[in-house]
Amino acid sequence: MSAIKNGVYTVTLKGKEYGLLFSLNALDEVQGKFGGYDKLGEIFNDKNPDLFKNTRWLLTLLINEWQLSEDESAQLIEEKRIGTLIHLGNLKEVQNAIYASFALATKGDGEEETPDGDGSSDGDNEGNRQGVQES
Structural domains counted in the chain: 1
131 pLDDT above the threshold of 50: no
Helix, strand, coil percentages, rounded to 5, for the chain = 45, 10, 45
Residue 59 belongs to a domain: yes
pLDDT in tens, 71-122: 999 999 999 999 999 999 999 999 999 999 999 988 854 544 444 544 444 4
Instruction: Please indicate, yes or no, if residue 55 is contained in any of the structural domains.
Output: yes
Residue 74 lies in a domain: yes
Q: What is the pLDDT of residue 107?
A: 80
Q: Which domain holds residue 97?
A: 3-107
Considering the domain boundaries, does residue 98 fall inside one? yes
Instruction: Let me know if residue 34 belongs to a domain.
Output: yes
Q: Does residue 122 belong to any structural domain of this protein?
A: no
Identify the three-state secondary structure at position 19.
strand
Is residue 134, in this structure, part of any structural domain at all? no
Q: What is the pLDDT of residues 28-65, one digit of tens each?
A: 999 999 998 889 899 999 999 999 999 999 999 999 99
Q: For the chain, what is the mean pLDDT?
A: 82
Residue 123 located in a structural domain:
no
DSSP assignment of 101-135 equals HHHHHHH-S--S--TTSSS---SS-TT--TT----
